[in-house]
Each structure stands twice: as structure tokens, then as C-alpha cells.
């Protein structure tokens, strides 16, 4: 390794470390190389759609969603001793949502970029191309349907099985670059990874921006705020915490709406749990369950004051059996179950009598 090559390599690695954060660039410890994770720029309203066997139990499913971010293209690279004076970096290119054929086309273009800039450091140019021009270069538009096994591969496999199209199959395999890797197990796992990554990146962007709370009108970082999923109205966590606590203490667990007047958006249980104390959330959870059960006609409560466990009424009659204390009771009079005998408590008494056990 010449001193000029060694110096150029070190300068390039230091420059990349200063430009990109740790999520985007990691330098290798044992060799001159590393890993870059490139997030492709998506146009507004970009949509992912998938069809096929997306779950184990559901055939011919369809899935479509709008995303702002897709999992990154990962470029692993290592510098040979004579880079950049003579040889290019040794690399692999992997992605979850691009097929091996698409990644092979990108590998070929990275080779071409090197030929056009031979003798110069190339990683930054490669990364900018992948970030800004991947969609255009591969002619990808919205809605985009990722493939785990692209059509060409499937035709090649069938051609081999049928003993026909051997030349076409060989040509297709030759077009696939060994440096291109589609890193995904199945369509269902791809959907999960796309949604998880998109949500995480949206939250990261939200946390880094400034917002004005619509309650106290203070300007705060997104990391100190929370937004309602449906309406996207933003409030600081301190104001929402006070608001939630007052509502829960008053028993209004079904009305944790966005504070914006007439806005129907409702806080999720996860958002409530994130803000209020554990004891108060337990009350919220209990009241929410109880109010839901109260709206179910076939659910009653164990009449023993020390129990009060929800009980499913038997469909064949008026008997209820508590799963907690095993008390069998009449769901009308709340007394010990009396079979076909008429209830001893009249309709008027049902409304006024409190039975104590």
C-alpha cells in the first residue's frame, strides 16, 4: 500500500464519519472498510402494495400503505491496498425491498461510476447515487410492489424443470450479481419490517422538530410532545399528562379525545400508559374494560361484593357461574341459582334490594 493510497483511504473514512451519523455509517474495526445504510429518497404520497400469500392462514391477500421511509440499502465495503489509485472498493449491496435483479443493476452502475472516476475516492458518489437516483434508475414509481422472487427467476426455475429455455435460464443467472443480496425471508416479514421502519423514522423526524403546544402555546421539541394519530394535532407531554389524569380520575376513560374543540381523535391506550403513573393507568384500564363489558348484554357481574368478577351469562337460561369464586347464581335476582323455580325477588325489589353475602 502506497502512502498516498493509505492517506486517501483514511481521509475518506474520516470524512464519511463526519458527514453521516452512526445509524448511517459504521467503520470496520479489523480492516479498512465499513458499512453504510442509505435511505432512498421517496416522493410525497409514495405507496407500497403487495399481493399473494401474505400470512400463513390467508391466501391471495392484498396489502397497500403509504410510506415516507423504506428500510435502507446496505453497502458493505472494504478497501484493497491499491485503492483508490488502481482498484475499486470490494463491496456487497443488500436490501429488503429490492430484488436481486434490481440490486444487480445497481451494482453494475456502481462499477460504471468507478470507471468514470478511476483514481479518485468513490464512496460518497456511490452513496449519493443510491440515495437520490435509485428509484429513477430502476424505473420505480408509486404504487410499488416489491418481489421476493422476481418473475425472471421464476421463469428460469420453470424452464429448468421443464427441460426448456435452458439458454434463457443461464442468461438470467449470469445477469444476477453475486454481490447483490435481498435480505428478507417472506412477504409477511417484509410488510412488518417496512411498517416498523417507517414508523420509527417518522418518530425520529417528529422528535427532532419544534412544535407549538395547542394548550400552553409553548414551543417545544417533538421529543417533549405527543400527537394524536388520526388528526396529527400536537401537544406537549406535560399538558397531555394533566389532561389525561383529570379525565381518568373523573372516570371519563371513553372521552380521552384530542383537546382541540370538536376533534373526534382519541388517545390510544399506549399513549395513555406512556404519560400517566402506573396506578392511574391501572384505573384507566379497569374502567375501560368495565365500560366495555357493561355494553355487552350477555355479561353480568358476580354478586358477591368481595368478588365482582365479570361473568358470561349461560345462553340456555339465567344462570351465571363465576370463574373466580365458582359461585353459581341467578342473573336476575343475583341469589344462589334456583333452577326452574321462580325468582323470589320481585321486579321492584330487584331495583331496591341489596343482597349481602
- Distances in whole angstroms, Cα of residue 170 to Cα of each of 35, 67, 113, 157: 32, 37, 27, 10
Each residue of 243-278: pLDDT tens digit? 999 888 887 777 788 999 889 888 888 888 899 888
- The answer to whether residues 21 and 98 belong to one domain is yes
Each residue of 222-243: pLDDT tens digit? 999 999 988 889 999 999 999 9
> Which of 148, 163, 192 is at the close of a domain?
192
347 or 292, greater pLDDT? 292
- The answer to whether residues 173 and 312 belong to one domain is no
Residue 205 forms part of a structural domain:
no
Residue 81 forms part of a structural domain:
yes
- The answer to whether residues 248 and 352 belong to one domain is no
Neighbour tally for 213: CB within 10 Å:
21
Residue 348 forms part of a structural domain:
yes
Residue 357's domain comprises 300-357
- The answer to whether residues 140 and 264 belong to one domain is no
- Distances in whole angstroms, Cα of residue 341 to Cα of each of 314, 317, 333, 337, 356: 17, 12, 12, 9, 21
Residue 204 forms part of a structural domain:
no
Q: Give me the number of domains the chain comprises.
A: 3
- The answer to whether residues 350 and 231 belong to one domain is no
The answer, yes or no, to whether residue 158 has pLDDT greater than 50, is no
Residue 230 forms part of a structural domain:
yes
Residue 83 dihedral angles phi and psi, to the nearest 5°: -90, 135
pTM strictly above 0.85: no
d(CA 78, CA 82): 12
Query: What share of the chain has pLDDT > 70, as a percent?
Result: 82
Identify the CATH number of the domain in which residue 185 sits: 3.10.110.10
> Which of 261, 293, 325 is at the close of a domain?
293
d(CA 178, CA 42): 27
Residue 198 forms part of a structural domain:
no
Amino acid at each position: 500500500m502506497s502512502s498516498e493510497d493509505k492517506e486517501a483511504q483514511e481521509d475518506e473514512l474520516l470524512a464519511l464519519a463526519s458527514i453521516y451519523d452512526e445509524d448511517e455509517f459504521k467503520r470496520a474495526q479489523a480492516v479498512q472498510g465499513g458499512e453504510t445504510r442509505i435511505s432512498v429518497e421517496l416522493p410525497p404520497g409514495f405507496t407500497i402494495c403487495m399481493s399473494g400469500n401474505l400470512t400463513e392462514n390467508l391466501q391471495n391477500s392484498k396489502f397497500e400503505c403509504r410510506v415516507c421511509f423504506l428500510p435502507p440499502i446496505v453497502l458493505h465495503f472494504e478497501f484493497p491496498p491499491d485503492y483508490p489509485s488502481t482498484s475499486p472498493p470490494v463491496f456487497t449491496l443488500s436490501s429488503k425491498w429490492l430484488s436481486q435483479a434490481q440490486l444487480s443493476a445497481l451494482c453494475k452502475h456502481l462499477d460504471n461510476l468507478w470507471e468514470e472516476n478511476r483514481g479518485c475516492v468513490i464512496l460518497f458518489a456511490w452513496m449519493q447515487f443510491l440515495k437520490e437516483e435509485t428509484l429513477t434508475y430502476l424505473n420505480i414509481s408509486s404504487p410499488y410492489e416489491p418481489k421476493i422472487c422476481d418473475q425472471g427467476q421464476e421463469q428460469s426455475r420453470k424452464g429448468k424443470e421443464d427441460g426448456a429455455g435452458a439458454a434463457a435460464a443461464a442468461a438470467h443467472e449470469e445477469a444476477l450479481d453475486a454481490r447483490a443480496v435481498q435480505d428478507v425471508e417472506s412477504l409477511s416479514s417484509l410488510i412488518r419490517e417496512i411498517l416498523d421502519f417507517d414508523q420509527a423514522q417518522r418518530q425520529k423526524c417528529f422528535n427532532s422538530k419544534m412544535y407549538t403546544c395547542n394548550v400552553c402555546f409553548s414551543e417545544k421539541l417533538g421529543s417533549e410532545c405527543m400527537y394524536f394519530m388520526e388528526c396529527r394535532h400536537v401537544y406537549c407531554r406535560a399538558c397531555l399528562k394533566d389532561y389525561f389524569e383529570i379525565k381518568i380520575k373523573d372516570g371519563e376513560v371513553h372521552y380521552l379525545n384530542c383537546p382541540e374543540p370538536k376533534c373526534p381523535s382519541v388517545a390510544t391506550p399506549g399513549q395513555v400508559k406512556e404519560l400517566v403513573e402506573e396506578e392511574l393507568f391501572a384505573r384507566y384500564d379497569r374502567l375501560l374494560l368495565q365500560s366495555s363489558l357493561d355494553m355487552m348484554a350477555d355479561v353480568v357481574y358476580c354478586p358477591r361484593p368481595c368478588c365482582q368478577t365479570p361473568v358470561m351469562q349461560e345462553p340456555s337460561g339465567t344462570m351465571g357461574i363465576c370463574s373466580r369464586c365458582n359461585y353459581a347464581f341467578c342473573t336476575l335476582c343475583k341469589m344462589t341459582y334456583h333452577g326452574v323455580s321462580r325468582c323470589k325477588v320481585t321486579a321492584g325489589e330487584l331495583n331496591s334490594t341489596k343482597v349481602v353475602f
